[in-house]
Amino acid sequence: MSKERFDIHQHLTDRIVAAIEAGAGQWQMPWHRHPVNIASGNKYRGVNVLGLWVEAQVNGYGSHLWGTFRQWADKGASIRRGQKASYVVFYKEIEVDSPEDGEDECKRRLFARATPVFNADQVDGLTEVPVAAPVEELQDVDGFISRTEAKIVHGGSRACFIPKLDEIHMPPRDAFTGSASSTPTEAYYSTLLHELTHWTALPHRCDRDLSGRFGTEAYAMEELVAELGAAFLCAELEIAVEPRTDHAQYLAHWLNVLKADKRAIFTAASKAGEALTFLRG
């Protein structure tokens, strides 16, 4: 009997669901440093960022460096006995036969390939810590937000995006209070970047569904996209964050979406990536 094929979509979804459920309703997006590959120095992208954040949080890893068995060996390090791998996904384009109307045609399809990786906290013998490859840096977060040309209205006590007005409404900056883990400024920017991701959803931007009401799967999916978008931006812009106060309200709906569709988290991460590409542009 052939060995059952490893399903990377199901594996990553199960890990995220387990992390949320283990938090007994208190789980929060793991806002860590951007995961970096030990060999190339490049930052991981898309769903791999979320997957490695979750693995780091669940296993208590403090490092943001990851690599395959061979990549660590090339650095003179060895994986400690008994350590379990985490997985990242890469997509490979291949040609497949697709006969139509009796004629043979070749079509190109994307297939997900799972690759096992290990965190720096799982290895011994690492003597040199690599520096991430240079990437575009946005020194002024206000400048980044301003360049999007989003209309932001300050006032009131709610943070939200209003599609009919095409406006982001935010409380005044001085209305945000700090905590033991974040400053008022960090709380302000993490909230604004969440709403800025929602702003990209209109048809003439990234064209996502904003019709869902609270409690629906459409609503939960858009909130997940916005939360991932904010997470990716906060990591990219090196902003520490304050978890949103309404996070627990839709956390249960995230679980429903993730359990119903193993590819949902991949879709959300992809949509968040599209939003970031639009905002950068």
Indicate whether 227 pLDDT > 90. no
**Model pLDDT, residue 273:** 93
Distances (CA, A) of 164 to 199, 202, 210, 241: 11, 10, 11, 29
Least trusted range by pLDDT, from 25-29, 33-37, 39-43 = 25-29
Pairing verdict, β 167-170 and 151-154: parallel
How many CB atoms are closer than 10 A to CB 277?
Answer: 11
Distance CA 252, CA 269 (A): 18
Query: The pTM is what?
Result: 0.67
Distance CA 200, CA 36 (A): 27
Among residues 15, 50, 18, the alpha carbon closest in space to that of 268 is found at 50
Among residues 172, 199, 194, 198, the alpha carbon closest in space to that of 185 is found at 172
Tokens of 77: 């390090």
Least trusted range by pLDDT, from 46-50, 110-114, 177-181, 221-225 = 177-181
Indicate whether 102 pLDDT > 60. no
Which range has highest mean pLDDT (134-138, 161-165, 246-250)? 161-165
Q: Which residue has the tokens 């019709």?
A: 211
Conformational region of residue 152, where left means phi above 0, alpha means psi within -120 to 50, and beta covers everything else: beta
- Answer whether 36's CB lies under 8 Å from 50's CB: no
Distance CA 280, CA 260 (A): 32
pLDDT band of residue 219 (cuts 50, 70, 90) is confident
Spell out a b/e string for 86-125, using b for 16 or more CB atoms within 10 Å of the CB, else e: bbbbeeeeeeeeeeeeeeeeeeeeeebebeebbbbebbee
What would you report as the CA-atom Rg of the chain, rounded to the nearest whole angstrom? 20
Distance CA 280, CA 68 (A): 31
Indicate whether 248 pLDDT > 70. no
